[in-house]
Amino acid sequence: MEAKSIVLILGSCVGVCLWDAVNAIGGATHYLLPCWDGTGAASPRYGNVAVSILVQKLVEAGADRGQLRAKVFGGGCLFDSMRETNSNKEQHLGSRNVEMALEILTKAQIPVISTVVGMDRGQRIVFRTDTGDAEIKVL
């Protein structure tokens, strides 16, 4: 698999970047909503669907599932009204998206190497699929 740089622009969305350093294979996904409720199509706009598809595609491309590592980004609370009026900030969409990513990765036994989440600004991530390196720019 040819090395690529993947660019993600994130707000309350979450980006999950996975790579197998031994085989230099990686990929990324981002999603808008934490969990598909079973109605309608199982779209990758939902975290539980998106991460499962990413793992499957990486394994199909030759990644060793046991060698996969993860980095998680995004999950921001970008709206002043949410930050000011919501005393229970943990319940905003970005936080729920982050919780879903960490839960899915834990269940899949994929170690999370780093997280940069929950900011009050957007992020631009450039992820290298071969090395797992990620360049983060706060927007």
Domain positions in the chain are 5-106+124-138
pLDDT band at 91 (very low <50, low <70, confident <90, very high): confident
For the chain, strand residue ranges (E) read: 5-10, 14-20, 25-31, 68-74, 112-117, 123-128, 134-138
Lowest-pLDDT range of 38-42, 58-62, 86-90, 127-131:
86-90
Segment 3-12, tens digit of pLDDT:
899 999 999 9
Fold of 5-106+124-138: 60s Ribosomal Protein L30; Chain: A; (3.30.1330)
Q: Which amino acid type is present at position 5?
A: S
The token pair at 119 is 């900011």
